[in-house]
Amino acid sequence: MHAGTNEVEAGVELSVQAGDSLKQIMKSSENVTAMVQQVATAAEEQSSAGDVIASNVEMIATLTRQTSENAKQSSQSTNEMNALVHQLEQLLDGFKLRNYQKQSTKPVQDNTPAQDTHHGDVLPT
Residue ranges per domain, the chain?
1-93, 98-125
Determine contact, residues 107/95, Cβ cutoff 8 Å: no
What was the pLDDT predicted at 28? Answer: 95
Determine contact, residues 110/99, Cβ cutoff 8 Å: yes
Residue 46's closest CA among 34, 57, 35, 54?
54
Summarize pLDDT for 8-38 with one digit per residue, the tens.
Answer: 888 889 899 999 999 999 999 999 999 999 9
Summarize pLDDT for 49-80 with one digit per residue, the tens.
Answer: 999 999 999 999 999 999 999 999 999 999 99
**Higher per-residue pLDDT: 115 or 74:** 74
Is the confidence at residue 112, as pLDDT, over 60?
no
